[in-house]
Chain A
Amino acid sequence: MPDRKQNLPQLYRFCFLMLGDSRKAQEVFHATLREAAVRAAHGELPSEPFWLFRHARWRCLEESETDLQAEPLQIEAHEITPEAPLQIEQLEPAQLAIWISGAPEPQRTALALFYLNEFDYREILDLADLKLSELSRLLLTGRRQFQAWLNTMVPQISKI
C-alpha cells in the first residue's frame, strides 16, 4: 500500500474528481508535483501531512474560478435505493467526475475526498476546513442528489 501522505495515483484522481477534465487534472497534478519538487530541492517541504492534497485542492479551486460557473439550481434529491450500486456500475468514471466537479464548493471537495476512500472523516474535516455537521450534510445531500441523477441517467435498473 502506498504511503497515504503521498499516494500520487489518488492525488491525480482527486484532481480529476475536482475538475471533471483529464487535461486540467493533469495540469494541476503536474503543477502541484513541480512545486513539491522545487520545495524538496530547497529542503522546504511542509511537515504537515497530506499537504499535497491540500495544495492540489487550492489549485483546483483556482482553476475552477476561471471556468464558466453553473447557475445555482434546485437539484432534485431521491432517497438511496438498494439498486443504486447496480446503477453506479453502469457509469463511466468520467461521468461521476463530471457530476462531482459540477457540485458547488465545499460539497465538491467533500465528495471528492470522501469517495477517494483514502481519508477518514477527521482528515477530511481538516483538509476541507469543515465541521462534522457540515460534512455530514454535504455527503447526505450529495448522495441523494446523485441518486436522483442516477435515476434519470440509468432509469431502467431503478424500475426493476
Chain B
Amino acid sequence: MKTQRLSRARRSLLSCAPISEQRIRDRSMRAALSCSRDSNEFANQQSFDRAMAALVDAIPIPPETTEWFADKEFVPASRWTWKKMVRNPAVLAVGIALLVIAGVFVFNFLNHLNDFPGSAMARKLLMVASSTRPVLLDPVNADAGTLGDLFFMKHGLEHYEVPPEFADFRTIGCRVFEDEESRRIAQIWLAEKRMQLFLFPAERDIKTSAVLRFAGWRYIQQEGWTGAVSEHNGVCFMAALRGRKEDLNQYVSEAKE
C-alpha cells in the first residue's frame, strides 16, 4: 500500500516512526508500520533517520562532563505505594476475586446463621409449595387437626399431627408424597390465605440416628415464601405462605396467646 493512501493518523504516526525497531511499543504504531513496509518513501525516511541518529550518537562527550556519569542517582527509584499496587491490573483482578469470594462466604454465613436441624429440607419444601397447584392434591374439606388420623390410618404415618396453632383451619386438599430420599412428606392446603402445611421426618444424627431436636418455632425464607417450622415427636411441621415472616408470626403468636 502506498503511503499516500494511508489515513492522516497513520501518516502522522509514520512520520514519528521509531528509528530502532525495539522501540515500537504501541499497537497503532505497529499497524501503521506494517502497512508501509513496501513504501520507498518510508524506506528513505528510515535510512535518513538511522543516519541522523548515528551522527547524534557520534557526538563526543567532553571529559569534564563524564565525571558526572559516576554512580549518582538523579532519578528516584520507583517507590512502592498502595496506589501503584492497587492500579496494577493483576492485583486489581485478585482483589476483586477475593471480594467476590468473601461476599459469597458472608452471604452463605448469613443464610445459614438461623439454620436448625431440618432447615435444608424445609427450604426444599418451600420450593415445592411455590410450585404446587391445588389440582395435585386430593380434595379434603375438614379441620386441619383431623388429618393426623387420616395420615396414620391411610398411610401409616405416625405423629404426623398438625400443631394446635393450625388445627382449626379448614383444608382444601392434602397429599402424601416421597422426596428423592424416599422420605414421606404430608402436604396440606388450607383455605386460610392459601397457606400450605408440611409434615416431614425430623433430621437425625448420622451416627446415632437420634432425632435432632429444637425447641419453639424457627423461620426460614426463600424466594418470597416464608415458613414457620417446629418439631414434635420426631416429625417436623412447617406452615408456609407467600409473604413475610410477620404474616406467619401472627398465627403462631395468636395461637400462643
Contact = CB atoms under 8 A, between A and B. Distances in A.
Interface string B50-91: 111111111111101100110011111011000000000000
Contacts of B48: 80, 84-85, 88, 143, 147
Interface stretch (B23-31, B122-130, B207-215, B219-227): B23-31
A72 interface: no
Contacts of A13: 56-57, 59, 61
B218 interface: no
B209 to A, nearest CB: 70
A136 B28 CA distance: 15
A96 B57 CA distance: 11
B47 interface: yes
A139 B75 contact: no
B12 A40 contact: no
Interface string A104-122: 0000000000111100111
B68 A139 contact: no
B73 to A, nearest CB: 7
B168 to A, nearest CB: 79
Contact of B47 (A5, A30, A85, A135): A85
B44 A82 contact: yes
Contacts of A16: 59
Q: Is the interface of B mostly helix, strand, loop or mixed?
A: helix
B141 to A, nearest CB: 83
Interface in A17-58: 17, 22, 26, 29-30, 33, 36-37, 40, 45-47, 49, 51-52
B133 to A, nearest CB: 67
Contacts of B13: 121, 132, 136
A121 B11 contact: no
Contacts of A49: 75
Contacts of B26: 120, 122
B11 A117 contact: no
B149 interface: no
B69 A132 contact: no
**Interface magnitude class on chain B:** 35 or more
**Interface magnitude class on chain A:** 35 or more
A114 B74 contact: no
Given A12-B65, A93-B60, A135 B16 contact: yes
B44 A29 contact: no
Contacts of B79: 47
A38 B76 CA distance: 13
Contacts, number: 137
B56 A115 contact: yes
Contact of B19 (A85, A117, A133): A117
Nearest to A111: B52
B15 interface: yes
B19 to A, nearest CB: 5
B49 interface: yes
A127 interface: no
Contact of A6 (B47, B60, B61, B74): B74
A29 B15 contact: no
B20 interface: yes
Contacts of B148: none
Given A84-B47, A88-B55, A121-B29, A45 B76 contact: yes
Contacts of A97: 59
A26 B12 contact: no
Contacts of B49: 114-115, 143
Interface of A: 3, 5-6, 8-9, 12-13, 16-17, 22, 26, 29-30, 33, 36-37, 40, 45-47, 49, 51-52, 80-82, 84-85, 88-89, 91, 93-94, 96-97, 114-117, 120-122, 124, 132-133, 135-137, 139-140, 143, 146-147
